[in-house]
Amino acid sequence: MFVSDCLGLNALGHLTIGGRDTVELAQTYGTPLYVMDEDEIRRACASYRESINKYYGGRGLVTYASKAFCCKAACKIAMEEGLGLDVVSIGELYTAQSVGFPPERIFFHGNNKTVQELLAALEYGVGQIVVDNLSELELLNQLAISHNQKASILFRIKPGVDAHTHAFIRTGQIDSKFGFALETGEALGAVRMAAGMEGIELKGLHCHIGSQIFDIEPFEHAAEVMLGFIAEIREKTGLALEILDLGGGFGIKYLPEHDPVQYDRYMMQVSETVKKSCAALGINTPYIVIEPGRSIVGPAGVTLYTVGSVKEIPGVRTYVAVDGGMCDNPRYILYQSEYEAMVANKASQPRLRTVTIAGKCCESGDLIGERMPLQEVQAGDIIAVLSTGAYNYSMASNYNRIPKPAVVMLRDGKDRVVVRRETLDDIIRNDLL
């Protein structure tokens, strides 16, 4: 019935998450409100961890892509579940540091790391710095030498794989701002350069082909390409790379018709491809890293809004206006991302209306979604938008000087605030006269 296993109905006909009444949570904490089911997050972490251990014989690591949802609580959960952490900024790294995340399990990504960020990574002793380009390689080498260190790195490689996803979230093709190209010889040239650098230790390769991917075949193809390059590196340079990071991008169920691959099936099929390719190429199976983000936290979250007005334009559409919008969920205006929504206080009733859910920002395109089936709705109703645990809080802004919502985490039927709601004083705290 629902897009996520953590959702349900109670005796009042209200939507529940983690067994808790969403209407009650909205009344307690106000709206807009992000609600996350910690038990669901931990179940996803355990599923990935158990699968990678099973199919790679304990020679693998699941790293949580913190960009999907980053706060102290999220980093602490990943740490406690034995996951690594994928960070892409000094802010994400600082958040990880604040909870004592083991530095050896941190991978620092990004296409334009600053001197400050690279120094912070070296000082904290992050496990791997994922180098994106030659300029960054040279800069990191200089910084490492000046600090009497040897930076352990992976190279981000563009494997040229079509991920069958939105153009903005395909990152594995040659025309991408990320990584070294294989086709041009750029990647092999970078390997040769790194091999001669005093401050650099090249440990492996990384790729990421896109996001919200439902097919396994692109991941299998990417693994074959990357392993082929590892074999080529050994043949042409003598370097035997130890780590292969296959990235993330695993799709989730936003709509009832979506059919994402089960984590265990993905791990099984890709591991078979990895082992077959390594045997055919005559190379040792590298230590495998994967980077799920959306698939760990996305299904565990809902966003709650209060309806303000219902505006019917005869023969055109019905606008249902809520007290949030692109400032707390910019994904529709960016990607035309689709969601399932329902009136949380009428969740047991049939969804007979077709509406456009509009935000309160001063933009015509500020929409949560169009042509969305919804129950009969009126001012004061609570609308729940489902599967919003990823890339909602993390991409939120203060456009129109609207304070960001609170984040409430649920565990064992109990609720707690893990990110407080911003105040008006927070909005002006950096202003100067």
Q: In the predicted model, is pLDDT for residue 230 greater than 50?
A: yes
pLDDT in tens, 166-180: 444 344 456 678 899
CA distance 126 to 206: 16
Three state DSSP letters for the chain: CCCCCCEEECCCCCEEECCEEHHHHHHHHCCCEEEEEHHHHHHHHHHHHHHHHHHCCCCEEEEEEHHHCCCHHHHHHHHHCCCEEEECCHHHHHHHHHCCCCHHHEEECCCCCCHHHHHHHHHHCCCEEEECCHHHHHHHHHHHHHCCCCEEEEEEEECCCCCCCCHHHECCCCCCCCCEECCCCHHHHHHHHHHCCCCEEEEEEECCCECCECCCHHHHHHHHHHHHHHHHHHHHHCCCCCEEECCCCECCCCCCCCCCCCHHHHHHHHHHHHHHHHHHHCCCCCEEEECCCHHHHHHHEEEEEEEEEEEEECCCEEEEEECCCCCCCCHHHHHCCCCCEEEHHHCCCCCCEEEEEECCCCCCCCEEEEEEEECCCCCCCEEEEECCCCCCCCCCCCHHHCCCCEEEEEECCEEEEEECCCCHHHHCCCCCC
Contact 305, 377 (CB under 8 A): no
Residue 170's pLDDT is 42
What phi-psi label fits residue 372: left (phi over 0), alpha (psi between -120 and 50 degrees) or beta? beta
Structurally, what CATH architecture does the domain formed by 109-292 represent? Alpha-Beta Barrel (3.20)
Average pLDDT over every residue of 421-427? 98
Percentage of the chain exceeding pLDDT 70: 97
CA distance 385 to 304: 7
The interaxial angle of helices 263-281 and 38-55, nearest 10 deg, is 30
Q: In the predicted model, is pLDDT for residue 147 greater than 80?
A: yes
Q: Start-end ranges of CATH 2.40.37.10 in the chain?
A: 7-37+298-427
Residue 161's pLDDT is 73
The interaxial angle of helices 134-146 and 186-195, nearest 10 deg, is 10
Q: In the predicted model, is pLDDT for residue 115 greater than 70?
A: yes
Residue 168's pLDDT is 40
- Cα distances from 426 to residues 30, 398, 402, 407, 430, in angstroms, run 17, 10, 10, 16, 8
Helices (H), 57-159: 72-80, 90-98, 115-124, 134-146
CA distance 67 to 85: 10
Tokens of 83: 């996951």
Decide which of 275 and 177 is more confident: 275
pLDDT in tens, 350-399: 999 999 999 999 999 999 999 999 999 999 999 999 999 999 999 999 99
Contact 13, 22 (CB under 8 A): no
Q: Start-end ranges of CATH 3.20.20.10 in the chain?
A: 109-292
Residue 180's pLDDT is 93
> For residue 213, what is the DSSP state?
B
The CATH number that domain 7-37+298-427 falls under is: 2.40.37.10
Q: In the predicted model, is pLDDT for residue 249 greater than 60?
A: yes
Residue 303's pLDDT is 98
Residue 163's pLDDT is 54
CA distance 258 to 260: 6
Mean of the per-residue pLDDT values of the chain: 95
Helix, coil or strand: residue 41? helix
Residue 274's pLDDT is 97
Residue 173's pLDDT is 55
Average pLDDT over every residue of 141-148? 97
Q: What amino acid positions are annotated as catalytic residues? A: 362
Residue 297's pLDDT is 98
CA distance 192 to 34: 48
CA distance 21 to 31: 14
Helix, coil or strand: residue 386? strand
User: CB under 8 Å to 147, separation ≥6 — which residues?
Assistant: 119, 122, 123
Residue 174's pLDDT is 64
Residue 133's pLDDT is 96
Contact 290, 63 (CB under 8 A): yes
pLDDT in tens, 386-403: 999 999 999 999 999 999
Contact 311, 317 (CB under 8 A): no
Residue 431's pLDDT is 98
pLDDT in tens, 162-216: 655 544 434 445 667 889 999 889 999 999 999 999 999 999 999 998 888 888 9
